Amino acid sequence: MDTPGLRMDAIKVAKVDNVVYRGNDGPATGCLHLTAHHLIFTDSSSQSEKWVPYPLISLVTRLPQTLTGSSPLALRCRTFDSFVLFFPREESAADVFESVRELTVTSSISSMYAFFYRPNPPFDVSDGWGLYSPREEFARMGVGSRTKAWRFTDINKDYSFCPTYAARLVVPARISDTVLTHAAKYRSKARIPALTYHHWANFATITRSSQPMVGLTNSRSIQDEKLIEAIFQSHLNPTSAFGGEVKPKPGQPVVYGATATNLIIDARPTTNAMANVAKGAGTEKMEHYREGKKAYLGIDNIHVMRDSLARVVDCLREADMLASSLQAGENGQSGVVLLDRHALRKSGWLRHISAILDGALLIVRNVHVNSSHVLVHCSDGWDRTAQLASIAELCLDPFYRTFRGFQILVEKDWLAFGHRFADRCGHLSSEKFFITASGDVGTAPGGADAAQAFFASVQKQFTGQGHLKETSPVFHQFLECVRQIQRQYPTRFEFNELFLQKLHYHLYSCQFGSFLFNNEKDRRTAGPEQSKAPWERTYSIWDFFNDSRNKPEYLNPEYDGSLDDPARREPGADMGVLLPNPRDVRFWYQLYGRSDEEMNGRIVVNQAVGAEFLGPVENSFEDPVLPDESESDLTSLAASSESISRTSTPSLPTMQPEPVRSLPAADSAVSMHGQSQTGSLPDLVHGQGTQNFPLPRTRTPQPQPRGGLQDVFAESPGTAMRSLWASVSSGARTAASAAQAAYGGVAKEISRNLASGPLEGEGELAERTAPTYTPYQHRAGASRTAPPIGVDQNPWSDPISARPPPQVPGSSHEGEPQVSAFASLSINDPTIALPSRLPRTPTQDSATFSTRAAHSVIRPSSQVDDSCVTVGPIGAPPAPISISEPVIAPAATEDNGNTSLSAGYDPLGVWANG
């Protein structure tokens, strides 16, 4: 086991006298001490000490010598504190710089201060590691007593089922461990949906998981679907372990309109979800999860959050540099310097905080107001998922706002569910955070020593910096969100603002073992060369806070627990459920060591816009992430149609998207609200370049039940509903766009041949064979007929003005027998690759489509598979071209005995907008 003595060899100098300290708290002169785990500065006049743990150091810069001959070192900490140390000799500054770098950059967590820390005097409480008991906490929620629809499982007792989950999980009682084993294969990192909160006021729940492994092939898992179905039905019969809907007794009235609005919350932006689809993961296809709907929150990933906080830190650093340059007089007092609040707004930090709060508020409303279930996930389910679930529980349950309850909340939703503290906090640091400013000659070694030092630094650079990409202030964001709610409700929290500040400090100090590891397995199991597990060798952070000498400092004197009594009925009572305002967010100026006026000033409203909700999504036609069935078919044809797509054909004019009209069909699916779901066929929008985006499927607006999902979105402050395709990235559709371009090339060739005739065509199709057309042979029950049109009225190439007027019911032709006036198009050229059949969904079968070419009168057909799309005139019949299977035509609806197509049907997406 490591001992402190092993780190002492990295210290080149242990003590330096006559060091000048200059920081935000004023200048001082004293002595600098370097120990195995701390940098300590002692003020000679006041004898006060400033202790800085090495993991707390985020940046060390060796600056050039000053005009007075001093050698400065500038240090920045993860607590947003910065100071400069001026050394009388350059050699001392170089030794301190090298020593701090060797002591900060380490390759093992076991060398951290937590493994050597021994409090003196000892803490009077030592139950921090056993503070959270899953059985006791979920029993407090009512699992096993108020409801029997949930059970504990030991399937992960040895962490072999899911290494990043806790040993004990809570799952639906009707789901066996065998089903869980199969469902784990469908979830990223085997992080299956598991219970994290059961609401006290009803039987609504919050569950969390990772993303499903859908991929480009639209994979599905029956076991995963049954698991989520059991979760969403757990409230129907809570007294039974088998769940299911309770059948009303004879004579008992049936209550209608009590349908739950269960939600699957995908915290990611749609572009991130689409990128994961290409990697084999993705998001749920809601046709397979009929018990709920889905919503995207648009919360950015860890890299965006890291860059946003870095911009805030840059603003603070620039303000400190300006303050240092404007020091006035010999007393060292600096003038008043305000931060660049415009640069702070551009960082987007408050916008991210507002988005997280807005997403949590959606969960709170759906659980408490709608009495419905919520499943939350992002990609792996340990970053944004932990933020949303824990903040929602903080608002829903007054227990989590107590001093002990908040500690249990952190243990349950962050530590037990596997937030990667070691990766996100970057405890191991890196040499890239130790830099030498230009102009400093330094005391670099020469000869062989210089070469050895160079190769050592190169080796560390390639082997020790990969973890920096995983760092992100995820837990820091959670603390800031708690502070925003605490500021809006100052009497509803038992702990004060200083408690959150101290928790943020020990997040990076590595003084306790709570935040050193990525999951419960790493904390609870001993390593190959260790006799004890880390939790047995370190102290918990809660031992420090619960100590009788420290606890009073972190209690809120304004706390009033009676306000959380659910039995209160006076005006302003909220049953203990908080609904924070996501737009009322401000910088946590105490954490950044600044004043409220300096960081916030007049609050800027437009930087707190809330989450960019996208939903509710009920099926894949409304989902911008999952590929459509037709798109999947086109993608599979990209390789076979490559030769045709490369032909030099004239491009079609740019077309504007047209909304698709849909009417209810007899066999329309019924949603969970008892509303008919109607489908529609999208147009393919040809924009600039080669990027083609399918429009979202539109459906007839349906009335929402009171308290339904629309109310959740509408009542949420700060909600900014965006267009369904506003966030779709063009880069994520490259594969589908290429296939559509290839398919469009075939349509262009056909269009040119139809426009110019068989003898004048110069395209590839005309050169291969002389195409001819044979009249379509009428078959009973499967014909598609339309009035004749000429070559100059071809709908693919001619403007709308040249098309014949549609046949109006009641005209002179209404009673005449209909004759087949179109010829069947069939392609028999083996060199041309076209889709033999476009996939048809039940929604397409039941929908009503339209055509822009002409008003056709069609007889009803019982065999849609035998139908044939007919194009072209029959005036000069050319040679026939045949295909192996007919292209499926849309289902038709009857109107006064006749079957007709309304204007707007465009299966290839190449007709001009009429």
Q: What is the pLDDT of residue 754?
A: 56
CB atoms within 10 A of CB 271: 16
Measure Cα distances from 495 to 291, 361, 406, 549, 727 in Å.
39, 22, 9, 15, 40
Alpha-carbon dihedral sign for residues 592, 595, 599, 605: positive
Beta strands in 323-461 (DSSP E): 374-377, 434-436
Is the per-residue pLDDT at 814 higher than 60?
no
Q: What is the pLDDT of residue 319?
A: 87
pLDDT higher at 693 or 17 = 17
Q: Among this protein's residues, is 395 annotated catalytic?
A: no
User: At 667, is the secondary structure helix, strand, or coil?
Assistant: coil
pLDDT higher at 803 or 99 = 99
Least confident of 73-77, 181-185, 290-294, 898-902: 898-902
Pair type for strands 893-895 and 262-266: unpaired
Domain ranges within the chain, ordered by starting residue: 4-104, 134-247+254-303+351-428+474-553
Least confident of 278-282, 368-372, 561-565, 810-814: 810-814
pLDDT, mean of residues 772-786: 44
User: At 295, is the secondary structure helix, strand, or coil?
Assistant: strand
Q: What is the pLDDT of residue 604?
A: 52
Give me the CATH topology for the region 4-104: PH-domain like (2.30.29)
Most confident listed range (22-26, 192-196, 285-289, 291-295) = 192-196
d(CA 810, CA 799): 27
Please name every residue paired with 894 in a beta bridge, in sequence order, or none if there are none: 899
d(CA 204, CA 212): 23
Please report, rounded to a whole number, the percentage of residues in the chain having pLDDT higher than 90: 46
- Is 93 known to sit in a ligand binding site? no
Most confident listed range (335-339, 600-604, 723-727) = 600-604
Q: What is the pLDDT of residue 743?
A: 57
- Is 277 known to sit in a ligand binding site? yes
Is the per-residue pLDDT at 668 higher than 60?
no
pLDDT higher at 455 or 232 = 232
Average pLDDT, the chain: 73
Q: How confident is the model at residue 753 (pLDDT cuts 50, 70, 90)?
A: low
- Is 568 known to sit in a ligand binding site? no
H or E element that contains 396: helix 384-396
d(CA 613, CA 624): 13
Q: What is the pLDDT of residue 620?
A: 75
d(CA 692, CA 687): 6
Most confident listed range (7-16, 731-740, 777-786) = 7-16
Q: What is the pLDDT of residue 582?
A: 94
Measure Cα distances from 568 to 226, 573, 576, 603, 650 in Å.
39, 6, 9, 34, 73
Interhelix angle for 474-488 vs 349-364, to 10°?
70
Is the per-residue pLDDT at 899 higher than 50?
no
Cis peptide before 121 (omega within 30 of 0): yes
Cis peptide before 616 (omega within 30 of 0): yes
pLDDT, mean of residues 829-834: 42
Q: What is the pLDDT of residue 281?
A: 93
- For residues 480 and 308, the answer to whether their CB atoms sit within 8 Å is no
Q: What is the pLDDT of residue 377?
A: 96
- For residues 159 and 169, the answer to whether their CB atoms sit within 8 Å is no
pLDDT, mean of residues 686-697: 35
Q: What is the pLDDT of residue 750?
A: 60
- Gyration radius (Cα) of the chain, Å: 34
Q: What is the pLDDT of residue 157?
A: 94
Is the per-residue pLDDT at 60 higher than 50?
yes
- Is 522 known to sit in a ligand binding site? no
Q: What is the pLDDT of residue 612?
A: 73
H or E element that contains 30: strand 26-34
Q: What is the pLDDT of residue 23?
A: 86
Q: How confident is the model at residue 244 (pLDDT cuts 50, 70, 90)?
A: low
Query: Is residue 545 packed enough to be buried (19+ CB in 10 Å), middle (13-18) or exposed (0-12)?
Result: buried
Is the per-residue pLDDT at 442 higher than 80?
no
Q: What is the pLDDT of residue 875?
A: 45
pLDDT, mean of residues 709-714: 49
- Is 706 known to sit in a ligand binding site? no
pLDDT, mean of residues 458-487: 79
Q: What is the pLDDT of residue 31?
A: 95
d(CA 270, CA 623): 9
Q: What is the pLDDT of residue 146?
A: 93
Q: What is the pLDDT of residue 258?
A: 53
- Is 382 known to sit in a ligand binding site? yes
Please report, rounded to a whole number, the percentage of residues in the chain having pLDDT higher than 70: 60
Q: Report residue 721 CA to chain centroid gap.
A: 16
Q: What is the pLDDT of residue 487?
A: 96
* pLDDT tens readout for residues 117-155: 999 999 999 899 999 999 999 999 999 999 999 999 999
Q: What is the pLDDT of residue 621?
A: 76
Q: How confident is the model at residue 863 (pLDDT cuts 50, 70, 90)?
A: very low
Is the per-residue pLDDT at 909 higher than 50?
no
Please name every residue paired with 19 in a beta bridge, in sequence order, or none if there are none: 30
* SS3 assignment for 727-784: CCCHHHHHHHHHHHHHHHHHHHHHHHHHHHCCCCCCCHHHHHCCCECEECCCCCCCCC
* pLDDT tens readout for residues 491-543: 999 999 999 999 999 999 999 999 999 999 999 998 877 889 999 999 999 99
* pLDDT tens readout for residues 491-503: 999 999 999 999 9
Q: What residues contact residue 611 under an 8 Å CB cut-off, 6+ apart?
A: 297, 298, 299, 354, 355, 356, 358, 359, 362, 582, 718, 719, 720
Most confident listed range (26-30, 746-750, 808-812) = 26-30
Nearest to 614 by CA among 268, 310, 344: 268
Q: How confident is the model at residue 259 (pLDDT cuts 50, 70, 90)?
A: low
- For residues 822 and 785, the answer to whether their CB atoms sit within 8 Å is yes
- Is 379 known to sit in a ligand binding site? yes
Q: What residues contact residue 321 under an 8 Å CB cut-off, 6+ apart?
A: none
Is the per-residue pLDDT at 636 higher than 60?
no
Q: What is the pLDDT of residue 746?
A: 55
Instruction: Name the catalytic one among 77, 162, 378, 868.
Output: 378
**Which tokens go with 542?**
């809660």
- Is 279 known to sit in a ligand binding site? yes
Q: How confident is the model at residue 236 (pLDDT cuts 50, 70, 90)?
A: confident
- Is 380 known to sit in a ligand binding site? yes
- Is 625 known to sit in a ligand binding site? no
Query: Is residue 255 packed enough to be buried (19+ CB in 10 Å), middle (13-18) or exposed (0-12)?
Result: exposed
Is the per-residue pLDDT at 349 higher than 50?
yes
* pLDDT tens readout for residues 381-410: 999 999 999 999 999 999 999 999 999 999
**Which tokens go with 471?**
């760092």
Alpha-carbon dihedral sign for residues 536, 538, 541, 546: positive
- For residues 882 and 695, the answer to whether their CB atoms sit within 8 Å is no
pLDDT, mean of residues 479-501: 96
Least confident of 168-172, 504-508, 653-657, 808-812: 653-657
Is the per-residue pLDDT at 268 higher than 90?
yes
pLDDT higher at 886 or 373 = 373
Interhelix angle for 177-184 vs 222-232, to 10°?
120
- Is 448 known to sit in a ligand binding site? no
pLDDT higher at 496 or 688 = 496
Q: What is the pLDDT of residue 720?
A: 42
Is the per-residue pLDDT at 20 higher than 90?
yes
Most confident listed range (566-580, 660-674, 720-734) = 566-580
Interhelix angle for 302-325 vs 474-488, to 10°?
80
Q: What is the pLDDT of residue 886?
A: 43
DSSP calls for 859-912: ---S-GGG---EES-SSS--B----SSPPPPPP-EEETTEEE-BTT--SSS-SP
d(CA 194, CA 191): 8
